[in-house]
Amino acid sequence: MIGSLGSGIYSGENGAIVYSDIPDGKSKLLIADIPIDSRNTKAKCLSTPFKKTIPIESTLKVSTEYKAMDMNLEGFALFKLSNQSDSLNVCNNGLCCQLNYSVESKQTLEHESYWFMVANRTGYGLNQKHYPICEEVCGIARCDSDSHSTCHTFPIKTNETIFESINISAKFSTKYLYPSVTTNDLQLVPIDKWNYRNDRHIGSEVRLDFNGYNEPIIAFGLYGRCYDRDPTYKQ
């Protein structure tokens, strides 16, 4: 594994049991016990399952100053967060997203820029260039800019910005939605620190929010895959 992360063992709505969180360029073997049925409410009450990460020695030397680069943001509506607290409603190609947020200090947003991102598009996805897909996105993320683009690279650390609260809501055309809340090194924020509400009926309001998490947030949002609108989809 060189500069990659996210591979792991997951248990449905219970979240990650063990995963590769810090992109340190080292290969790892991940081991964990998982419940037979992650939908079983009793499974959620079990004691912490066994998990183990075994580093695999490698002679490769790689940089540890990672950024998520070459992200395809064509078709995205992007709005920079500049106020200490604000409420925004952004529509893009029929998808409307509502954002409410507050940060501890407005000054931190001047040094670490965060953007509200909304997309409803069919094309080449966020980080791939070969297979056209349909996706609906509603979220915020920290990104760096250059002279040619609004969001050029996505750093994986933040030193200053603390969000006191974030709430995102939208009505998606797909029921296949994936919430994501990450902190420094793109580690997953524990699922008991945020709330996700989705009754899985297409066109109903989906909400993602949290309050009082006193750690940096790198990205916070909802990613939808509208599989039936993929260009190669056949029913």
Which residues are within 8 A (CB) of 173 and not within 5 positions of it... i.e. 6 or more apart? Answer: 94, 95, 120, 136, 202, 203, 224, 226, 229
Average model confidence (pLDDT) across the chain: 82
Is the pLDDT score of 63 beyond 90?
no
Is the pLDDT score of 191 beyond 80?
yes
Average pLDDT over residues 9-29: 75
Distance from C-alpha of 126 to C-alpha of 71, rounded to nearest angstrom: 5
Question: What is the Cβ-side half-sphere exposure of residue 135, based on CA atoms within 13 angstroms?
Answer: 23
Residue 65 pLDDT class (50, 70, 90 cuts): low
Which CA distances in Å does 7 have to 30, 159, 209, 216? 9, 25, 25, 22
Distance from C-alpha of 148 to C-alpha of 144, rounded to nearest angstrom: 11
Residue 38 pLDDT class (50, 70, 90 cuts): low
Report pTM. 0.81
154-155 and 195-197 strand pairing: unpaired
Average pLDDT over residues 160-182: 94
Collapsing DSSP states into helix, strand and coil, what is residue 45? helix
Instruction: Specify the pLDDT at position 128.
Output: 65
146 and 201 Cβ atoms separated by less than 8 Å = no
Count Cβ neighbours within 10 Å for each residue of 33-63 and write b for 16 or more, e otherwise: ebbeeeeeeebeeeeeeebeeeeeeeeeeee
Decide which of 40 and 108 is more confident.
108
Domain range list for the chain? 8-56, 67-229
Decide which of 52 and 40 is more confident.
52
